[in-house]
Amino acid sequence: GAGVSQSPSNKVTEKGKDVELRCDPISGHTALYWYRQSLGQGLEFLIYFQGNSAPDKSGLPSDRFSAERTGGSVSTLTIQRTQQEDSAVYLCASSLARRSEQFFGPGTRLTVL
Amino acid sequence: TQLLEQSPQFLSIQEGENLTVYCNSSSVFSSLQWYRQEPGEGPVLLVTVVTGGEVKKLKRLTFQFGDARKDSSLHITAAQPGDTGLYLCAERNSGGGADGLTFGKGTHLIIQP
């Protein structure tokens, strides 16, 4: 079956602009996760959804970052007023249930000029 | 959430050689996962270790969990160019509604033909 898909695969934006990144999880997976991977910091957890609710937002680095999930499926990560330090690969993962194996998408590479 | 230290950071060896990479923490792991990530893709789960002293084998890969559950190692026998990638260890976040994974910064492995 289809894996986790993310779009766009690459995004170049100017400092100060808003961006939206999309994640389509594996069908039937109730848990969804966003991570960020950068050269200096490695792979960092951002937020976790169970269904449409987000019981763990502890990894969001600032209030410029937000995410939503609708219909228990697609999720969007929004970064407002982007900064150069937001440049990274943003990875999405889904799992059948909380604490089951996570399956990762290929990521969106975000470059803020 | 504890800090996971991986070593070495980079490793480049010839095809056919053996190698070991490490993941350590000052605190006890509840369980530990090893992932492999190739360029342009998300991490893929290789194994989960739970019990102190546990050894798991996956073809030429041998994973060991320390008796005190504070360290783990991945040993590759007769490395092949297809083993090239970023090897990450990770622990699941816990407490309250928390979920998601905390990753080490990884070992970049290059196997030269």
Q: Which residue in B has a C-alpha nearest to residue A90's C-alpha?
A: B42
Interatomic CA distance for residues B46 and B40, integer angstroms: 18
Chain A residues with CB under 8 Å of B45 CB are 101-102
Chain A CB within 8 Å of residue B7 CB: no
Q: What is the CATH number of domain A5-112?
A: 2.60.40.10
pLDDT of A26 reads 97
Domain locations in chain A as residue ranges: 5-112
Q: Does position B95 have pLDDT exceeding 80, yes or no?
A: no
CATH architecture entry for B5-112: Sandwich (2.60)
Chain A residues with CB under 8 Å of B99 CB are 31, 33, 48, 50, 55-56, 98-99
pLDDT of A1 reads 57
Spell out the per-residue pLDDT of chain A, length 113, in tens: 589 999 999 999 999 999 999 999 999 999 999 999 998 888 999 999 999 898 888 899 999 999 999 888 999 999 999 999 999 999 999 999 988 999 999 999 999 99
The average pLDDT across B95-113 equals 89
Q: B66 in helix, strand or coil?
A: coil
Q: Could you tell me the two tokens for B53?
A: 């002293």
The contacts of residue A10 (CB under 8 Å, 6+ apart) are A108, A109, A111
Task: Choose among A65, A67, A70, A79: nearest CA to A33.
Answer: A67
Domain locations in chain B as residue ranges: 5-112
Strand partners, B20: B75
Q: Which residue in B has a C-alpha nearest to residue A102's C-alpha?
A: B45
Inter-chain touch B42–A31, beta carbons under 8 Å = no
Interatomic CA distance for residues B72 and B90, integer angstroms: 11
